[in-house]
């Protein structure tokens, strides 16, 4: 394709096409066909330049659709972007997609493509049977067929498609803080930023478009003697030179959150290619989310033009008036040859003037006002343009396929009476541009709950009063309904000056630039153009183009009793699309208001929500994905575990060795085999566990002991220095929340251990009680979880092995069970605790983590002859379960009291202070005898390992629903006992030892088991006490 395909591109001329670079032609494909455009084009402008009318098919009726707008409000030109599978981007607005070499896009709807769509037949012939809400009324019978119907409904759903492969690009976030954030870099935003910057404070100015300048890019007024686009360019340069100003072009403010937190989405490479190009061999993010906390937010987001709603207003060739100017002035593209303009205001006359100046034919301007008389009207008349006062385009006619406008029916209208007041005249044309007025972009303000307020003078909603009294917020320019350039520039400067003054920052508000002012006549409100037929019978008049919501649909919704605008929205899907109703909502609300006999403010608006324009998930996720999705916490021995083939278990964020499969006869052990080997090694020889992940809290202060007594269920007043004790913690509802061993290091000094998962929560638990309830207790808590590396050496040979490495006297009488000692292990100062979670003779060696590997490796250097075996959490679980030791969170679920666990020995009912959890234990429900209680289960068949989570019944013969009396909490095969065994909770279980229970399983089998004591191994505890 050559440049000559760009039949709608204007010849070079001063003031036209300021944003394209004709020296940089770019090739792109659309629906598989190749075209050419220029650097600086948007995909939309390039398509228009090439005379592509149909860019997509509509959602419900599959009607051909063309470009209507030039910015974020575009509802039709929604394309699927991307040449490769991984680079697919669904639902890109062609009006906001910069052209790049090799860009490949297709319309999102239409089969085989938008031009030759087959689905349109359904739309054409099915349309009459698909009024708003039709699916609620049908597809109900027979009930069994609904899922089939739904499959077809779904097929028709959706716009673009998700990529089939993972995103090759990366995204990132930048946290920013500033005194003034200005959203929108049109005249108002530029002026606001200039003023704020003069105050020396940090200013961020962002604009969603490729280029700063906003509406100035489409204007020919002079500002300070410069053409508007030139003034904008120079102002931007001034700002760029200031150190306190950050300029973010191509950056959309998407969400305005509480307390002036604003998310800005900066598209950094989308204009360069499908995927982000590398720079100097380094990756860069495709887009970046700026998370901005601003002292003051200035909304300078301008106003969106409202199209008029008339029959056939969706056929390609119907555009917004302002968009016509934008395409001509920015891109030197004529979106047609012969224009009919239908307006309600002076401002939109520019479209006709621009059209004519560019060499197009202006057939007529239909002006809904009886006596238009502003300066621009006069200019148009003077230029020989026919102005038909008191009229509007009531219908666009089109070619047979509906691919392009071929005429406009213009008629005199009676707005008040909502009817025609004259005969319609047909004007041949290929383009209809309309302007029904302007809606201030109040979206962002609404995000934080600022309700829009209707203003009769400007015929639009503007943001209301801010709700947060602390943070600053102001609205300037078009967003505030201030449209005249002089007033808008001055207003922006004044508002920002005042805002800064409130913070004690003084700026000398420099004279606003001199602008010629243009006298504008008063605009008139027109939201729905009457037709010769009643709305329900007229050809479709579209309100929401993307969702195919017509004026008739809105009327029908109100007929059917949907009187709230929120109901209308949900019944018709108005504003649900990717454009969120930027174009159609206000018209739709006004139509609903008329149908209901209300005023527009009575009917009100629906709620604007983030995002202002859609943002891809990846950008919101930033770098919190893949390997950085969530931290992996490592112990000091982690690399050793990796090197020794450990399989890991996720416990909270920690990676814990789960088991260490060995290669036996060339084959890697299964978990079952590895665990059996590890278990036997511990029971018969010696094993070592990396227990570093247990939470550890250093507690110091004269009231430390008292504090422990209040927090734990059991007593601490008598625990002597040098001793350790197991403790149980409850919440104040009496339910067990954590456990662990706490050691008395000194009279005022304890070391508490917690479960791995509970560490952070328990530290906060201690703090909350201390800080809020018992501030008088003199005690401090400090986490030392990461400081200490912990190795549990356990098994009959533990003492012999450790003795080789330490100076501590390990003799059973001098270093007793539940005591701790300090000494040196493998040359490293250590604290050794004689506590046991396996039931075997155990020594927990704690050293400062940097020295851990020295000790760990020394253990192995000396341990071989004792059969030292590393073991993981699975083996630990088997061993502790054989001993009936609970795991909080596995054998408990937040509904178990210490009594339920059979741990009354760990409850100090006589303690003077009513410790946390005590009172709740005497409530009627916690005193019930038939509570679920922890017991052991012995499957009758020894080789059966019950399923963890299996439900228990007393009577296996009963019908479903069965009465369940408990469930299995822990269940393993014990290589020591050579049988399966389990811990379980059973109603009244403590009094049912010896009874039989049943476990009916999914495979139809029912297992039988005997209720036994939860201690399966060495009930006297003689092995740990040797």
Partner 1 sequence: MSKVVQFDPHPAQAAATQSPLHHVAAKPAVGETGVTLTERAFLDHLIVRGEPGVLAGAVEAVLGLELPTQPQRLARNETGSLQWLSPDEWLLIVAGGEGFRLQRELREALGEAHFSIVDVGGGQTLLELSGKHAVEVLMKSTVYDVDPRHFPVGKGVTSVFAKATAVIRRVDESRWELVVRRSFADYCLRWLLDAGEEYGIAHQPTQPAVASHRQTVTDTETVS
Partner 2 sequence: MFHIYCPYCAEYREEEEFHPRGQAHIARPADPEATSDDAWGDYLFFRDNPRGVHHELWVHAVGCRKFFNITRDTRSYAILETYRMGERPTVTANGPEAVPSATATLTGALA
Partner 3 sequence: MQRYSGFSLVKHALSHHENWQRHWRNPTPKKEYDVIIVGGGGHGLATAYYLAKEHDITNVAVIEKGWLGGGNTARNTTIVRSNYLWDEAAALYEHAMKLWEGLSQDLNYNVMFSQRGVLNLGHTLQDMRDIQRRVNANRLNGIDGEVVTPQQIKEIEPALDTSERARYPILGASWQPRGGVARHDAVAWGFARGADALGVDLLQQTEVTGFKILDGKVVGVHTNRGDIGAKTVGCVAAGNSGVLAGMAGFKLPLESHPLQALVSEPLKPILNTVTMSNQVHGYISQSDKGDLVIGAGIDGYLGYGQRGSYPTIEHTLQAIVEMFPIFSRVRMNRQWGGIVDTTPDACPIISRTPVRGLYFNCGWGTGGFKATPGSGNVFAWTLAHGQAHPLAAPFSIDRFRTGALIDEHGAAGVAH
Ligand X SMILES: NC(=O)c1ccc[n+]([C@@H]2O[C@H](COP(=O)([O-])OP(=O)(O)OC[C@H]3O[C@@H](n4cnc5c(N)ncnc54)[C@H](O)[C@@H]3O)[C@@H](O)[C@H]2O)c1
Ligand Y SMILES: Cc1cc2nc3c(=O)[nH]c(=O)nc-3n(C[C@H](O)[C@H](O)[C@H](O)COP(=O)(O)O)c2cc1C
What is the binding site for partner 1 (CB under 8 A)? 172-177, 202, 279-285, 291, 293, 623-624, 627-628, 630-636, 639, 654, 693, 698, 700-702, 745-749, 778, 780, 782-789, 822, 824, 827-829, 831, 847-854
When CB distances are held under 5 to 8 angstroms depending on the partner's kind, the choice from partner 1, ligand Y, partner 2, none that residue 624 binds is partner 1
Measured distance CA(873)–CA(689) in Å, rounded: 8
Q: Residue 431 or 892: which CB sits closer to partner 3?
A: 892
Residues ≥6 apart with Cβ < 8 Å to 386: 362, 363, 364, 365
Closest CA to 966 of 898, 1020, 891, 1021: 891
Name the residue among 612, 66, 57 with its Cα closest to residue 327.
66
**Residue 85: strand, helix, or coil:** coil
Rule CB under 8 A: which of 412-451 touch partner 2? 449
The binder of 675, among ligand X, partner 3, ligand Y, none, by C-beta within 5 to 8 A per type, is none
- The residue within the footprint of ligand Y, chosen from 116, 419, 609, 919 (CB under 6 A), is 609
Q: Which of 220, 261, 293, 601 binds partner 3 (CB under 8 A)?
A: 261
Gap between the Cα atoms of 932 and 891, Å rounded: 11
The region of 26-34, 150-158, 510-518, 720-728 touching partner 3 under the rule CB under 8 A is 150-158
Buried b / exposed e across 725-746, counting CB within 10 Å, b at 16+? bbbbbbeebbbbbbbbbbbbbe
Q: Which stretch binds partner 3 (CB under 8 A): 64-72, 137-145, 675-683, 738-746?
A: 137-145
* Helix ranges, 658-747 (H): 671-684, 704-711
Interface residue with partner 3, options 220, 399, 520, 733 (CB under 8 A): 733
Q: Which does 702 bind (CB under 5 to 8 A by kind): partner 2, partner 3, partner 1, none?
A: partner 1
158 touching partner 3, by CB under 8 A: yes
Residue 923 contacts partner 3 per CB under 8 A: yes
Structure token pair of residue 553: 């649909």
**Window contacting ligand X (CB under 6 A); options: 376-384, 471-479, 506-514, 591-599:** 471-479
The pattern of x and - marking residues 484 through 513 that bind ligand X according to CB under 6 A reads -x--x-------------------------
Phi, psi of 850, deg, nearest 5: -65, -20
The total of other beta-carbon atoms located within 10 Å of residue 401's CB is: 13
Beta carbon nearer to partner 2, 771 or 890 = 771
| CB neighbourhood size of 346 (10 A) | 25
Nearest to 16 by CA among 229, 206, 205, 223: 229
Rule CB under 6 A: which of 342-361 touch ligand X?
345, 347
**Does position 451 bind ligand Y by CB under 6 A?**
no
> 757 to 776, contacts with partner 2 by CB under 8 A?
764, 767-768, 771-773, 775
Q: Quick check: 446 and 452 in contact, CB under 8 A?
A: yes
Nearest-approach distance from CB 667 to partner 3, in angstroms: 20
Q: Is 914 in the site for partner 3 (CB under 8 A)?
A: no
Query: Whole-angstrom Cα distance, residue 329 to residue 16?
Result: 5
Query: 832, 874 in Cβ contact below 8 A?
Result: no
**Nearest distance from C-beta of residue 916 to partner 2, angstroms:** 9
733 interacts with, out of partner 2, ligand X, partner 1, none, CB within 5 to 8 A per kind = partner 2
Q: 837 to each of 428, 691, 803, 878, 887, how far by Cα in Å?
A: 91, 11, 21, 11, 11
Distance CA 528, CA 535 (A): 10
User: For residues 671 and 945, is the Cβ–Cβ distance under 8 A?
Assistant: no
Binding segment for partner 2 (CB under 8 A), chosen from 93-101, 585-593, 610-618, 916-924, is: 916-924
Closer to ligand X by CB, 296 or 987: give it.
Answer: 296
The minimum distance between CB 769 and partner 2, in angstroms, equals 9
Residue from 18, 107, 123, 186 in contact with ligand X (CB under 6 A): 186
Peptide bond into 602 cis (omega under 30): no
Please give the Cα distance from 418 to 434 (Å, whole number). 18
Please report, as residue ranges, which positions from 728 to 747 form the binding site for partner 2 (by CB under 8 A). 732-733
Smallest distance, ligand X to C-beta of residue 189, A:
5
205 binding ligand X? (CB under 6 A): no
Name the one range near partner 2 by CB under 8 A: 24-32, 541-549, 918-926, 980-988.
918-926
477 binding ligand X? (CB under 6 A):
yes
Q: What is the DSSP string of 356-380?
A: HHTT-EEEEEEESSSS--SHHHHHH
Residue 607 binds ligand Y, judged by CB under 6 A: yes
- The answer to the question of residue 576 lying near ligand Y (CB under 6 A) is yes
Q: What is the 3-state secondary structure (H, E, C) of 748-790?
A: CEEEEEECCCCHHHHHHHHHHHHHHHCCCCCCEEEECCCCEEE
Q: What is the DSSP string of 801-861?
A: HHHTTB-S---TTTS-TTBEEEEEETTEEEEEE---SSSS-EEEEEEEGGGHHHHHHHHHH
Residue 187 is a binding residue for ligand X (CB under 6 A): yes
Interactions with ligand X, residue window 277-316 (CB under 6 A)? 300-303
280 binds, among partner 1, partner 2, ligand X, none (CB under 5 to 8 A by kind): partner 1
* Shortest-Cβ-distance residue relative to ligand X: 186
With CB under 6 A as the contact rule, the residue among 37, 160, 189, 312 that binds ligand X is 189
Give me the residues that bind ligand Y (CB under 6 A), please.
576, 580, 606-607, 609
| Binding footprint of ligand X on the chain (CB under 6 A) | 71, 183-189, 206-209, 214-215, 252-253, 300-303, 345, 347, 438, 441, 444, 477-479, 483, 485, 488, 520, 612
Residues of this chain that interact with partner 2 (CB under 8 A) are 257-261, 293, 449, 467-471, 732-733, 764, 767-768, 771-773, 775, 914, 918-920, 923-924
């Amino acid at each position: 394709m050559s440049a000559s395909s760009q039949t709608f591109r204007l010849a070079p001329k001063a003031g036209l096409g300021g944003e394209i670079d004709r020296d940089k032609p770019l090739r792109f494909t659309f629906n598989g066909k190749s075209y050419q455009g220029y650097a600086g084009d948007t995909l939309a402008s390039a398509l228009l330049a090439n005379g592509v009318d149909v860019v997509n098919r509509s959602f419900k009726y599959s009607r051909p659709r063309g470009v209507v707008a030039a910015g974020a409000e575009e509802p039709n030109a929604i394309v699927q972007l991307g040449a490769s599978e991984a680079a697919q981007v669904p639902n890109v607005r062609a009006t906001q997609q910069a052209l790049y070499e090799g860009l490949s896009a297709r319309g999102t709807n239409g089969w085989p493509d938008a031009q030759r769509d087959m689905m349109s037949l359904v739309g054409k012939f099915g349309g009459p049977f698909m009024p708003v809400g039709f699916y609620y009324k049908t597809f109900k019978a027979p009930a069994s067929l609904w899922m089939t119907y739904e499959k077809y409904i779904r097929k028709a759903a959706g716009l673009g498609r998700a990529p089939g492969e993972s995103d090759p690009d990366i995204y990132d976030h930048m946290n920013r803080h500033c005194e003034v954030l200005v959203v929108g870099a049109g005249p108002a935003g530029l002026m606001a930023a200039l003023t704020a910057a003069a105050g020396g404070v940090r200013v961020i100015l962002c604009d969603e478009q490729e280029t700063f300048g906003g509406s100035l890019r489409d204007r020919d007024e002079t500002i300070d003697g410069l053409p508007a686009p030139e003034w904008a360019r120079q102002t931007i340069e001034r700002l760029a030179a200031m150190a306190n100003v950050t300029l973010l072009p191509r950056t959309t403010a998407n969400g305005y959150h509480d307390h002036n937190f604003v998310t800005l989405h900066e598209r950094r490479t989308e204009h360069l290619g499908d995927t982000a190009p590398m720079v100097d061999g380094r990756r860069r993010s495709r887009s970046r989310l700026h998370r901005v906390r601003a002292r003051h937010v200035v909304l300078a987001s301008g106003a969106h033009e409202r199209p008029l709603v008339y029959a056939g207003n969706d056929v390609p060739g119907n555009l917004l008036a302002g968009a016509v100017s934008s395409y001509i002035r920015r891109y030197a593209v004529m979106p047609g040859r012969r224009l009919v303009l239908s307006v309600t205001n002076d401002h939109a006359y520019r479209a006709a003037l621009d059209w004519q100046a560019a060499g197009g034919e202006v057939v007529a301007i239909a002006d809904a006002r009886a006596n238009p008389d502003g300066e621009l009207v006069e200019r148009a008349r003077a230029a020989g343009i026919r102005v038909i006062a008191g009229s509007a385009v009531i219908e666009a006619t089109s070619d047979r396929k509906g691919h392009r406008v071929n005429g406009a029916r213009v008629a005199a209208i009676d707005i008040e009476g909502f009817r025609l007041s004259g005969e319609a005249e047909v004007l041949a044309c290929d383009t209809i541009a309309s302007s029904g007025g302007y809606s201030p972009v109040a979206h962002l303000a609404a995000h934080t709950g600022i309700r829009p307020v209707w203003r009769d003078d400007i015929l639009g909603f503007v943001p209301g009063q801010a709700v947060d009294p602390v943070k600053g917020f102001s609205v300037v320019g078009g967003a505030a309904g201030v449209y005249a350039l002089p007033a808008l520039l001055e207003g922006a400067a004044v508002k920002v000056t005042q805002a800064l003054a409130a913070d004690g920052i003084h700026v000398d508000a420099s004279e606003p630039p001199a602008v010629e002012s243009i006298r504008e006549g008063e605009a008139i409100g027109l939201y729905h153009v009457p037709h010769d037929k009643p709305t329900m019978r007229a050809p479709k008049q579209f309100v929401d183009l993307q969702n195919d919501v017509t004026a008739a649909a809105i009327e029908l919704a109100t007929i059917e009793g949907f009187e709230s605008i929120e109901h209308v929205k949900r019944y018709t899907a108005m504003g649900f699309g990717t454009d969120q109703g930027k174009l159609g909502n206000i018209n739709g609300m006004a139509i609903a208001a008329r149908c209901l006999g209300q005023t527009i403010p009575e009917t009100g608006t629906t709620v604007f929500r983030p995002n202002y324009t859609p943002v891809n998930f990846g950008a919101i996720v930033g770098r919190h994905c893949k390997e950085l999705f969530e931290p992996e916490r490592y112990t000091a021995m982690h690399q050793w575990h990796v090197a020794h083939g450990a399989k890991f278990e996720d416990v909270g964020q920690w990676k814990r060795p789960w088991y260490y499969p060995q290669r036996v006869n060339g084959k890697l052990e299964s978990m079952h085999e590895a665990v059996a080997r590890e278990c036997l090694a511990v029971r018969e020889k010696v094993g070592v566990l990396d227990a570093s992940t247990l939470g550890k809290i250093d507690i110091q202060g004269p009231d430390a002991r008292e504090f422990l007594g209040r927090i734990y269920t059991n007593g601490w007043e008598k625990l002597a220095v040098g001793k350790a004790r197991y403790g149980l913690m409850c919440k104040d509802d009496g339910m067990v929340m954590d456990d662990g061993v706490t050691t008395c290091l000194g009279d005022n000094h304890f070391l508490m251990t917690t479960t791995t998962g509970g560490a952070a929560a328990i530290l906060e638990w201690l703090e909350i009680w201390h800080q809020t309830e018992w501030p008088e207790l003199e005690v401090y808590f400090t986490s030392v979880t990461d400081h200490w590396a912990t190795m549990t050496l356990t098994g009959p040979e533990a003492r012999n092995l450790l003795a080789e490495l330490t100076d501590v006297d390990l003799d059973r009488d001098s270093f007793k069970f539940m005591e701790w000692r300090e000494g040196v292990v493998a040359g490293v100062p250590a604290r050794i605790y004689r506590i046991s979670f396996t039931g075997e003779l155990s020594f927990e060696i704690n050293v400062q983590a940097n020295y851990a590997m020295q000790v760990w490796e020394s253990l192995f250097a000396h341990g071989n002859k004792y059969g030292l075996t590393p073991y993981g959490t699975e083996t630990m679980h088997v061993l502790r379960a054989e001993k009936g030791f609970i795991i909080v969170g596995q054998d408990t679920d937040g509904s178990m009291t210490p009594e339920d666990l059979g741990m009354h020995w760990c409850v100090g009912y006589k303690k003077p202070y009513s410790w946390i959890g005590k009172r709740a234990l005497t409530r009627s429900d916690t005193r019930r005898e038939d509570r679920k209680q922890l017991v052991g289960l012995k499957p009758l068949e020894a080789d059966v390992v019950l399923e963890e989570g299996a439900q228990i019944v007393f009577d296996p013969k009963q019908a479903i629903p069965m009465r369940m009396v408990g469930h299995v909490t822990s269940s393993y095969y014990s290589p020591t006992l050579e049988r399966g065994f389990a811990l379980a909770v059973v109603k009244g279980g403590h009094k049912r030892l010896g009874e039989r229970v049943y476990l009916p399983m999914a495979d139809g089998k029912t297992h039988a088991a005997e209720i036994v004591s939860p201690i399966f191994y060495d009930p006297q505890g003689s092995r740990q006490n040797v």
